Amino acid sequence: MTAPTVDPAVYAQALADIRALRPYGTYQAPAGKLPPVHRPQCGTERGYVLHSVHGEAPHPACRDIAMAAQRKRRAAGGAS
């Protein structure tokens, strides 16, 4: 079975379209994390996940609980 070939003209047009959307070398990394928002779930693993989902820096309590749970899962061989 051979790989499908792409017509060079189609490839060139697609590449030109992509470069028109964002010129080469203009990528900017996203800004830093947002400040944490206090939620009822804070201080739990779920609170840590919610901070991550919303692009926030986690509270120290959320981070500590999540890291302790991660260490426990690793020690148990991932069975928890």
pLDDT in tens, 12-61: 888 888 877 876 667 676 678 889 999 999 999 999 999 999 989 999 99
Domain positions in the chain: 33-80
Element spanning 19, H or E: helix 8-21
Structure tokens at 52: 């991550």
> How does residue 80 score in pLDDT terms, banded at 50, 70 and 90?
low
Phi and psi at residue 53, to the nearest 5°: -60, -35
> How does residue 2 score in pLDDT terms, banded at 50, 70 and 90?
low
How much is the pLDDT for 47?
93
Burial status of residue 57 (CB atoms within 10 A of its CB: 0-12, 13-18, 19 or more):
middle
